[in-house]
Structure 1
């Protein structure tokens, strides 16, 4: 980007309107800023000094839907962040959002002439920023596209991706690869879809910035995908810490408006060419996060046990048709969920009545009554191994259905 000319536009605008001005990229990372005009706040000072306004401030700005704005709008203040109100104008070129022109406006008293000057400045900045955006976007698109191919289940597609990464000089030579998949379960996809992508990319970028790890990342559908390459298997604790950092960044950007979960696949011996297996496992593990006992938001594939193969079923195939008939009958006759909870605990404890009663804080007589009622409703003898397996798998599937 022609940084000198970009800075000149920002400085000229700031002098004309007498306010502190900054240009951020679409993820609210500062690109350049004018001198202070006595209106600076804690967020701006941090952004200028550290080149980063912080995830909470970025999340607050993104939560206003700025990625969809086509004209200047107001970012309300956040006293808890030490953040004053701002006028924010999108910088667009051919419908691409290139950045955000931000002006400190604590009292909302910018005159119309100053707002017009801000709008005019976005038109001047857009062509200056587009050339570098296009070049960087082309490389990023090619690299992420090749990574997506590398993780495909098809041998042919994976070979194409491997060749593309090799030609670009991006193919890691490490022996081991581990994939982490993070996803954002937005309360309202219409409201959070764009913000979710920004949140995941922000988290991926910040985790990948740790140069002690060889890392690649991409977005695949609603998932943020982090590939960690190493010359030796990495401890689960280290992989979990990276996943936790990724989710923390994403949550901060989303300001708590959506649930974030992650799955971690097994470490694949075979490096980049075997990463697809770890990716599929991580996707399945992420799908189970929050539905397993304990409700963990980070799940390792190897923790899933019998649930592991079920987690790889396509989401559109997870319908009640998969549930065994006797279990559907039980669910229909158990609106409170008490019997279903009892059956789950009984099967999870390998049919041990003492351990089940202890886990449910039940008197053993009450437990036997419930088990008898379950037998009557399902028509299945719970002492039979096949019946137990049928019901246990059905309960696991039911949990995956949410």
Structure 2
């Protein structure tokens, strides 16, 4: 259940066929990125800027250094089968694996014909970046408080299910608004949101979301809603008066020292998806982890309020009260059971896993054969555990 919810319908609508890239048969008519073949995944995930409308997140003049540390060679077993890093990456279609401890790179490997210069799509890892921009907007005075009503920043939501919902409730997915995240139904909310301009002059995501009814009282229940993460992206850009890509460049990408421009996929109205689909290099995924672990400072300046990153990466609500093993949820971050680690997660095997007390960051980019399954998540969990055991000895 952790990290597996991501709507791709609006992104898929913007994508051109990738069959030519991979010399594979085209998907069935109307198929989305969720249905790409392994060959199409391998080609498309590192070439999203050629497939969909996007904005560029510009890097700055300097690069945050990631020096080499003592190398790791972890071993693990999955269902009785022994694996080293090479065999695990082959078995689970990993395109990039990066381990940083105390600011030093202990392990950096690439697969699926990816190079260090190749970007890779983030899927829902972008959500954690979007919530960080909420913190930046508070630091800059554009958002007064997390307890402000959402309608202060998206007034078109007044009078609907989001009336009385706070920014805090939106970024912890506790709005109480009814939402269907069923990827198998073309009639689900996640399949329909943002696909067309419903009202001229109103973002199509906002148009769709403001028609949704209230289900439970705000703040009472965690319920994953991809539409709400896109709302947060719109909220931030409305508050700061700038595109998300520009604000991200100004607050993190350039001052922190990312090594390469990133790209951010847009919705059909030309607004960056707050919940999806940035593309960046493996090391820049690691630098996101470093920025959060370091308390949100870039270029010697505090970019988010003091204590923001600690608050964002603690559990504000249980994912499922009946299943404590699912952990908790922060500000678009998944919190591990026991609270000793937190993760930014995206489908098909994208993750930034951080153990703050160990100074340890583990980045995985993949092209899993399924968006998310218990077995695939368990395998990545065993890899993470093996790496942590080897790194913290």
TM class, shorter-chain normalised?
A: under 0.3
Larger relative contact order (CA 8 Å, sep ≥ 6): 2
Structure with higher Rg: it is 1
TM-score norm. by structure 2 comes to 0.26
Higher helix share: 1
TM-score norm. by structure 1 comes to 0.25
